[in-house]
Amino acid sequence: MYLKNNMKAFLKTTFFSMVPITRLPAGSASILKYHSIGESTSPLSVPPHLFAKQMQYLADCNIPVMSLSDLVARLRERKDCGGAVVITFDDGYRDNYSAALPLLQKHGFPATLFMITDLVGATENGHAYLSAGELRAMADSGVFEIGSHTQSHPRLDRLSPEGARTEVQGSKAVLEDLLGREVRFMAYPWGAYAAETPAIVERCGLDAAVGVDEGTVSTDSPLYTLPRNSIQHSTSMTQFRGNVSTAIDSYIKVRGCVLRR
């Protein structure tokens, strides 16, 4: 697995440095997946200066940044995705409030944060998570919409259907009680779900769900398994540019061919 992951990283860096970086067509969008914005060396933590550089790139290139709500509305109406980028954050790290929110406000970019409700106000493994007050402030900021990342962050594919429903519905209820507004979206922990999970999510009253499979979104994308492109500590600007361009779909095709050998 270690060698395979290293091969993927090497292939991605090499590929994006060699191919033309072309803007997404009107029929596509790229959903970006972040976790922490901080100085930690964790693979999931993007340093604030790099996050600022990435947001400035979107602004300088006039790449439209769309809320997840707007994207899902377009998908439901089978309208073009606008060649847009959607920004999302998983887990609910406190630095999303202290570091990400000011930069997003500066550029007027909307974003979605998926919160693990059991970790509201907690500190775990050295990571501080958003307090109830910070979550409310983010929801009231006009920048962030808050979505579910379940109660305890389990792999939903390893739970019974009832267990999965409890995790999804419970998290949604906690957030709605805390924020006083409807929670419409969720992100699958670990990107894992069973064949029946998307239907469970829909029955829980959520409008869409996102995973971790890479690629762009189009009008044909299933609403309850939308792909996202991960931005991590090691993501270079070359990789970032590729993730918000047509190059990401070309890379996925090439990766599949190489890794099947």
Total of domains in the chain: 1
What is the Cα–Cα distance from 114 to 93, expressed in whole angstroms?
10
Check which CATH number belongs to the domain holding 152 and give it. 3.20.20.370
pLDDT band for 261, please (50, 70, 90 cuts). Answer: low
Whether residue 74 is contained in a domain is answered as: yes
Give the pLDDT of residue 2.
Answer: 43
184-208 mean pLDDT: 98
Residue with more model confidence, 258 or 60? 60
pLDDT of residue 78: 95
User: Dihedral of the CA atoms 76, 150, 101, 143 (nearest 10)?
Assistant: 30
For the chain, how long is the longest CA-to-CA vector?
A: 52
The predicted structure's pLDDT at residue 6: 57
Whole-number Cα distances in Å, 250 to 31, 39, 123, 214, 257:
16, 32, 40, 11, 11
Q: 75-113 pLDDT, tens per residue? A: 999 999 999 999 999 999 999 999 999 999 999 999 999
Question: 5 lies in a domain?
Answer: no
- On the question of pLDDT at 120 being above 50, the answer is yes
* Residue 5 predicted with pLDDT over 60: no
In a domain, residue 38? The reply is yes
Query: Looking at residue 1, what is its pLDDT?
Result: 45
Q: What is the mean pLDDT of the chain?
A: 94
Given this model, what pLDDT does residue 172 score?
98
In a domain, 12, yes or no: no
Exposure class string for 37-51: b at 16+ Cβ within 10 A, else e: bbebeeebbbbbebb
Does residue 234 lie within any of the structural domains?
yes
At residue 59, does pLDDT exceed 90? Answer: yes
The residues, any chain, with a CB within 8 Å of residue 60's CB and separated by 6 or more, are none
The answer to whether position 1 is within a domain reads no
The string over 74-95, giving b where at least 16 C-beta atoms fall within 10 Å of a residue's C-beta and e elsewhere, is bbeeeeebbbbbbbbbbbbbbb
Domain hosting 182: range is 26-259
Q: Which two tokens stand for residue 178?
A: 């805390």
pLDDT at 256 over 90: no
Please state which of the ranges 10-24, 177-191, 240-254 shows the lowest mean pLDDT.
10-24
175, containing H or E segment: helix 161-179
Residue 18 lies in a domain: no
pLDDT at 7: 65
Can you spell out the DSSP letters for 177-241? HHHSS---EEE-GGG---TTHHHHHHHTT-SEEE-S--S-B-TTS-TTSB--EE--TT--HHHHH
For residues 14-20, give the mean pLDDT: 90
11 occurs within a structural domain? no
Between the two ends of the chain, the Cα-to-Cα distance in Å is: 15
Mean pLDDT within 256-260: 64
Burial 246-261 (b: 16+ CB within 10 A, else e): bbbbbbbeebeeeeee
Amino acid identity, position 126: G
Nearest alpha carbon to residue 148 among 72, 74, 88, 231: 88
